[in-house]
A = this chain, B = another copy of it.
Amino acid sequence: MVKTRAIIDEFDTYVPGKSKKEISEKYGVPENEILKLGSNENPWGPAPGVKEAILNAIPEMNRYPESNHEYLKEKIAEYAGVNKNQVIVTGDGADELLDILAKTLIDPGDEFIVHPPTYMYYSFTFKQYNAKAVYAKWNVKENKLDVQSVLDNITDKTKVIFLCTPNNPTGGLIPQEDIIKIIESTDALVVIDEAYWEFSEVNNVNLLDKYDNVFIIRTFSKVMGLAGLRIGYGLSNPELLEKISRIKPVFSLTVPSQKAVLATLADKEFIKESTKKSIAEREYLYESVNAIDNLHIYKSKSNYLLIDVRNSGFTAKELTSKLMEKGIIVRDCTSFYGLDEYYIRISVETHPKNEKFIKILKEIVGN
C-alpha cells in the first residue's frame, strides 16, 4: 500500500451528511416536506435572474471558464465598496480561500489562532498543511470573543488569526475596536470571516485601507442564495493578492457560477429583501424558542441561532435525531470544538416552515 502522510491519520474517516433522499427513505417523510435548518442557506432561493443567466451559458459549458475574473472583480468591488485590485474570487466558496491562504502562508510548524467554538473548516484546512492550532476563546455565555485570549496566544510563530463575525455557530459579533486591537498587536494576517455579515448589517471593509495584515472572507453561499454554485471572494491588499494568485487554482470557478454572480449583484432588491426576510425569521425563531422554558436560545446577528438544550432531557444528538424522524434537519453542534454535547444550531427557513419547526420542536421537548 502507498504510504500516505502522517497527518492523514489524524483526520477522521469522512462521514457525509444524510441526503434528503436518504432521510425520506428512512423516515417515510416525503422529500419535498423535509425542512432544512442545518446549513445556514438562503431558503428563498437564488435571485430570479440567475435562471436566465445560466440558461444562456449552457452552449458554452464545453469551454473552460474565464480565469481572469476581471468583470466579476469589478462588480464585487462595487458591491463591497473597495477597489477592484483588492478583490480575489474563488471556486469552492470561501473554503477555497482558506486553502489558498494556507498554501501561501503556512510552513510546517507555523501556528494559527482560532476562537472555539467557531467555524471548523479553518482548522480542518490548516492542519492539512501541518500548521498548529492555538486556541483562544469565545465566551459562549456572553456570546462574545475573549479578546485577551487571542492577544495572549500570539507568538512569533503565529501566521494567521481567524476572527469569525458574526461567529458561527454562536451568532455573536466582534466589535471593530476589538478587531483593531488584535490587528495592531501582530504582523500575522488577521482573517476576518464575514460570510454572514449581511445579516448583521456591519462589516470591517474600512480596515482594508488602513492595515496591510487584514483579509476579509466573503461568500455567495449565504444571503446571495448560491451555496450550490460554490463562489467565494476575498478582500485584502493587492500585494498579498498578487502572491496568492500565483498559486491559486486557475479554473476552479465554473461558468454557471460566474454568470450567477453577475445576475445576483445586478439585483439589489433581491439582496435587500433576502437580508430583511432572514433577519425577520431569525427574530421570529428567537422569540419562539425563547418562549420554550427548557431551551436556552442565544441572540444572534446572523441567519442561524445556537440553542442550549441541556434542560430538555435530551442531548443534542438525541434531539437532532428526534427532529430528523419528523423530517427536520438541524445541526448537532457536538462536533464543534469548544461546545459540549448539549447544543444545536438552527438556521432560518421560510415562515411557514419555521412555524412547523417550532410546533414540532415544542411537541418533542414537551413545552
Contacts and interface: CB of A to CB of B under 8 A. Distances in A.
29 contacts: A1-B240, A2-B105, A2-B212, A3-B187, A5-B103, A5-B104, A5-B107, A8-B243, A11-B246, A11-B247, A13-B242, A14-B248, A14-B250, A16-B68, A19-B66, A19-B68, A36-B63, A39-B63, A51-B58, A61-B228, A64-B228, A92-B92, A92-B249, A93-B251, A96-B249, A99-B249, A108-B108, A228-B255, A230-B254
A196 to B, nearest CB: 15
Interface in A60-77: 60-68
Nearest to A249: B92
A345 to B, nearest CB: 15
B62 A45 contact: yes
Contacts of A36: 63
A172 B333 CA distance: 53
A267 to B, nearest CB: 14
A12 B246 contact: yes
B4 A240 contact: yes
Tell me the number of copies of this protein.
Answer: 2
Given A128-B247, A246-B13, A2 B62 contact: no
Interface stretch (A162-170, A219-227, A304-312, A357-365): A219-227
A118 to B, nearest CB: 17
Contacts of A63: 36, 39, 41, 227-228
Contacts of A92: 91-92, 249, 251-252
A212 B1 contact: yes
Contacts of A11: 246-247
Contacts of A19: 66, 68
Which 7 pairs, one residue from A and one from B, show the smallest C-beta to C-beta distance?
A228-B255, A16-B68, A11-B246, A62-B225, A92-B252, A61-B228, A14-B245
Contacts of A239: 1
Given A41-B63, A63-B39, A228 B246 contact: no
A188 B2 contact: yes
Interface centre among A14, A16, A60, A239 (most CB of B within 10 A): A14
B61 A45 contact: yes
Nearest to A65: B228
A43 interface: yes
Contact of A14 (B99, B229, B246): B246
Contact of A16 (B5, B67, B95, B257): B67
Given A4-B104, A8-B243, A11-B247, A62 B43 contact: yes
Interface in A237-278: 237, 239-240, 242-243, 245-252, 254-257, 260
Contact of A64 (B221, B237, B247): B221
A56 to B, nearest CB: 11
Nearest to A6: B107
B95 A251 contact: yes
Contacts of A221: 64
Contacts of A107: 5
A44 interface: yes
